[in-house]
């Protein structure tokens, strides 16, 4: 009997506006195998799988399930085809028990008999070796237990094609081992599994085959036993592309920010940054590379005074007279008055930088509202500044009285950076400054950064495109799981080298 692939995707294309997320991707998945889908951030892994799960609908190409062409328009369609996806963000109701979450929305006959459901859940758990209490409330669960509920939910609905989107990102090594054991049990039971990941050691550990995506393109697939981490890194990051970003070298560097042993915990008590130390100099662009969620956000926010670092952490700011100031413990207003500007937070561009419903002038006023005399804010200066920013940075807007939310992403970005630069900062921090911007606007932003650097500002640039980091930055700090895995010279570093550092810590496999 000829074996029919569980899933076959042929020439699948997905666009978001002008951005192509997946371009003519071909992928095959067989029963009884674990396929790793490997790629950097933004390489289109999750988008591709979301098309199988019914979240997105492809713009082109065909999908075959069990040899038959299908059209998957909703998560319900996917369930009916036996496809279940476990998303990174769990879709669970906190105040419900595991069992209640598992049967949610199912149109089963009969009344809601919690005992029968619990028995079925236990049956599935014991078959694959899950550890789950059907009557436990979700809010009492650890992340790993919640994930188990998600997997059992999918199995309860009869899925035999399972997609796990970065399932280990939130797990401890022990929990990861348990998950992999369960995955192998499911594979041996004849199910088809896809694990989306960018951690090479996990790929080597759990999968039978690896398919690699890069910038939305399908690079190829290899049997896991025929490959090694170095080869996979090459496939994942590809060859360097020359971008021709100007990078003048400054002769005089001045110490600006010295971060010592910075440790930041999130509200759940998990370390997001562990013992991070580095120095940022005026007159250089310090790039920060790392897989998203490696602590970049916490690092910038700690410097801006928006995080509460653990005891023993120090962030020293050196002013132009050479005096040192401890930034930890100061409030964000003090810090920004000292000349530390946090700009561009595009994931949250409008959330933390600008107020969408307010116009350009009012957004400028956000920085200067304390300058006016008495109870009335001075509106003249900000209006002038807004007009100046619009003119100098070529912001496309009907006028300075237009609400910022009506502007396109690139123009919003320009308004934000224009305002921050107008503050005459001595430290300029930016995160994902060019995300979602077209190529010309991106270059405008790069040039603005470089201009600031030449004025002697210490620029900290968190980026995701390694090609850009390699051409824009003087030095690159690589984060891996909240720890510094390397600090390299931007002029001599290689893409491979940084790629490996992003996934591995000091030669060892990183936790993240």
Partner 1 sequence: MKELISLFTSAIVFGSVILFGATGEILTEKSGNLNLGVPGIMYLGGIAGLVSAFFYEASAAHPVPFVAVLISLLCAFAAAALGGLIFSFLTISLRANQNVTGLTLTIFGSGVANFFGGSLNKLAGGVGQISVSVASSGYRAVTPLSKMGPVGELLFSYGFLAYLAVIVAIAVQLFLNRSRAGLNLRAVGENPGTADAAGIDVTKNKYLATCIGAGISGLGGLYYVMDYTKGTWANDGTIEGLGWLAVALVIFATWRSVNAIWGAYLFGLLFWVYLYIPGLARSTIELFKMLPYLVTIAVLIIVSLRNRKENQPPASLGLAYFREER
Work out how close the CB of 104 gets to partner 1 at its nearest, in angstroms, rounded to a whole number.
Answer: 5
Question: Which residues, numbered 416-435, are part of the site for partner 1 (CB under 8 A)?
Answer: none
- Cβ distance 144 to 98 under 8 Å? no
- 46 versus 294: smaller Cβ distance to partner 1: 46
Q: Which of 358, 466, 354 is nearest to 414 (CA)?
A: 354
- State the first-to-last Cα distance of the chain, in angstroms, to the nearest integer: 43
Under rule CB under 8 A, residue 356 binds partner 1: no
Under rule CB under 8 A, residue 348 binds partner 1: no
Residues 204, 223: Cα–Cα separation, whole Å:
10
- Distance of CA 108 to CAs 74, 100, 104, 133, 253, Å? 19, 13, 10, 22, 69
Residues 105, 88: Cα–Cα separation, whole Å:
21
Q: Is 253 exposed, middle or buried (0-12, 13-18, 19+ CB in 10 A)?
A: middle
Work out how close the CB of 489 gets to partner 1 at its nearest, in angstroms, rounded to a whole number.
Answer: 37
Residues 4, 256: Cα–Cα separation, whole Å:
62
Among 4, 104, 119, 333, binds partner 1 (CB under 8 A): 104
Work out how close the CB of 136 gets to partner 1 at its nearest, in angstroms, rounded to a whole number.
Answer: 13
- 17 versus 507: smaller Cβ distance to partner 1: 17
Under rule CB under 8 A, residue 146 binds partner 1: no
Stretch that binds partner 1, among 89-97, 216-224, 293-301, 347-355 (CB under 8 A): 89-97
Work out how close the CB of 111 gets to partner 1 at its nearest, in angstroms, rounded to a whole number.
Answer: 7
Under rule CB under 8 A, residue 79 binds partner 1: yes
Question: Which residues, numbered 8-37, are part of the site for partner 1 (CB under 8 A)?
Answer: 16
Strands 60-65 and 271-282: unpaired
Residues 329, 183: Cα–Cα separation, whole Å:
46
Residues 474, 489: Cα–Cα separation, whole Å:
6
Among 93, 241, 270, 333, binds partner 1 (CB under 8 A): 93
Under rule CB under 8 A, residue 59 binds partner 1: no
DSSP alpha helix (H) spans, 104-161: 114-128, 143-156
- 112 versus 366: smaller Cβ distance to partner 1: 112
Among 4, 68, 73, 94, binds partner 1 (CB under 8 A): 94
Among 4, 57, 69, 112, binds partner 1 (CB under 8 A): 112
Under rule CB under 8 A, residue 56 binds partner 1: yes
Work out how close the CB of 46 gets to partner 1 at its nearest, in angstroms, rounded to a whole number.
Answer: 11
Under rule CB under 8 A, residue 188 binds partner 1: no
Question: Would you mind telling me the total number of residues written for the chain in this entry?
Answer: 512
Among 139, 142, 248, 424, binds partner 1 (CB under 8 A): 139
Under rule CB under 8 A, residue 81 binds partner 1: no
Paired with 287 in beta bridges are: 461, 476
Q: Which of 66, 141, 148, 149 is nearest to 104 (CA)?
A: 149
- Cβ distance 435 to 442 under 8 Å? no
Stretch that binds partner 1, among 64-72, 91-99, 364-372, 499-507 (CB under 8 A): 91-99
Under rule CB under 8 A, residue 95 binds partner 1: yes
Under rule CB under 8 A, residue 350 binds partner 1: no
* CB neighbour list of residue 151: distance below 8 Å, 6 or more residues apart: 86, 130, 162, 164, 182
- 56 versus 180: smaller Cβ distance to partner 1: 56
Among 62, 69, 108, 324, binds partner 1 (CB under 8 A): 108
Q: Which residues bind partner 1 (CB under 8 A)?
A: 16, 56, 74-76, 79, 91-96, 100, 103-106, 108, 111-112, 137, 139
């Amino acid at each position: 009997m000829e074996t029919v692939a569980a899933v076959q995707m042929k020439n699948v294309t997905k666009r978001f506006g002008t951005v192509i997320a997946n371009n003519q991707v071909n992928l095959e998945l067989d029963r009884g195998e674990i396929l790793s889908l490997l790629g950097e951030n933004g390489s289109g892994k999750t988008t591709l799988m979301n098309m199988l799960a019914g979240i997105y609908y492809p713009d082109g190409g065909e999908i075959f399930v069990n040899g038959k062409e299908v059209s998957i328009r909703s998560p319900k369609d996917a369930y009916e085809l036996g496809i279940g996806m476990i998303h990174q963000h769990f879709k669970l109701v906190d105040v419900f028990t595991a069992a209640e979450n598992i049967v949610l929305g199912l149109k089963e006959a009969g009344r809601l008999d919690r005992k029968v459901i619990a028995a079925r859940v236990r049956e599935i758990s014991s078959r694959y070796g899950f550890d789950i209490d059907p009557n436990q409330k979700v809010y009492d669960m650890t992340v790993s237990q919640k994930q188990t509920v998600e997997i059992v939910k999918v199995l309860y609905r009869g899925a035999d094609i399972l997609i796990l989107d970065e399932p280990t990102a939130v797990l401890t090594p022990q929990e990861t081992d348990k998950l992999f054991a369960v995955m192998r049990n499911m594979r041996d039971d004849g199910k088809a599994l896809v694990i989306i990941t960018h951690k090479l050691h996990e790929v080597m550990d759990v999968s039978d085959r690896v398919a690699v995506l890069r910038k939305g393109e399908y690079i190829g697939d290899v049997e896991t036993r025929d490959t090694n981490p170095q080869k996979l890194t090459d496939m994942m990051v590809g060859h360097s592309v020359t971008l021709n970003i100007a990078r003048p070298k400054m002769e005089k560097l001045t110490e600006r920010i010295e971060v010592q042993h910075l440790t930041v915990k999130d509200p759940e008590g998990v370390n997001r940054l562990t013992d991070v130390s580095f120095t940022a100099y005026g007159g250089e662009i310090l790039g920060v590379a790392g897989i998203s969620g490696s602590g970049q956000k916490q690092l910038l926010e700690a410097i801006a005074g928006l995080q509460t670092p653990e005891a023993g952490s120090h962030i020293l700011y050196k002013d132009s007279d050479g005096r040192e100031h401890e930034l930890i413990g100061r409030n964000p207003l003090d810090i920004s008055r000292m000349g530390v500007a946090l700009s561009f937070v595009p994931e949250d561009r409008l959330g933390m930088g600008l107020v969408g419903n307010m116009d350009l002038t009012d957004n400028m006023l956000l920085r200067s509202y304390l300058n006016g005399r008495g109870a009335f804010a001075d509106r003249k200066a900000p209006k002038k500044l807004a007009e100046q920013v619009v003119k100098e940075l070529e912001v496309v807007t009907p006028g300075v009285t237009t609400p910022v939310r009506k502007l396109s992403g690139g123009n919003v970005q320009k308004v934000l950076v224009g305002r921050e630069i107008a503050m005459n900062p001595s430290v300029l921090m930016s995160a994902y400054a060019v995300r979602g911007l077209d190529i010309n606007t991106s270059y405008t932003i790069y040039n603005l950064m470089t201009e600031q650097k030449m004025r002697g500002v210490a620029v900290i640039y968190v980026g995701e495109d390694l090609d850009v980091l390699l051409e824009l930055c003087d030095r690159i700090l690589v984060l891996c799981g909240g720890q510094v895995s390397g600090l390299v010279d931007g002029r001599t570093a290689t893409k491979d080298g940084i790629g490996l550092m992003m996934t591995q810590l000091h030669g060892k496999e990183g936790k993240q």
